[in-house]
Structure 1
Amino acid sequence: MADNTANPRQLRVKLVKSTAGRIARHRACVSGLGLRRMNHSVVVADTPENRGMINKVSYLLQVEEV
């Protein structure tokens, strides 16, 4: 089981552009981050996996550290 104290940093991710008309892999990244609709924001752990998804669809998102 992973210890969450090793990487306590978190990111607030907000979807600011629509996924309509985007390629399927980018829509999958947005849903993988837990975002459902425009202006929806979630807090995710700052892991390499989440950073990769954020970097792939950064043109759709607004990101800030919590």
Structure 2
Amino acid sequence: MAKKSTLVVRQTGSSTRRPKDQLQTLVGLGLGRIGKQRELEDTPSVRGMIAKVSHLVEIVEKPA
């Protein structure tokens, strides 16, 4: 079985005064506070969510 690739996503911007759909996208990614990190499976749907709030998150290099 192939190892699934993952992404580590960190929230860098505030969700305050953002459109409701962007807030819901952050919640869907498991984020909600600046500095919070999540390790997520690298799928097209997760990539799309990250693209939607790319100005509020960054992809972090995963430690080896």
Q: With structure 1 as the length reference, what TM-score do the two structures score?
A: 0.85
The 3 A distance-change label for structure 1 pair 26 and 8 is same
Select the structure that is richer in helix: 1
Unaligned runs of 5+ in 2: none
Could you list the structure 1 runs, at least 4 aligned residues long, displaced by more than 4 angstroms after superposition.
none
1:41 aligned partner: 37
What root-mean-square deviation, in Å, do the aligned CA atoms of Structure 1 and Structure 2 show?
Answer: 1.5
Q: Which aligned pairs between 1:1-66 and structure 2 lie closer than 5 A?
A: 5=1, 8-66=4-62
Aligned residues: 62
Percent identity for Structure 1 against Structure 2:
35
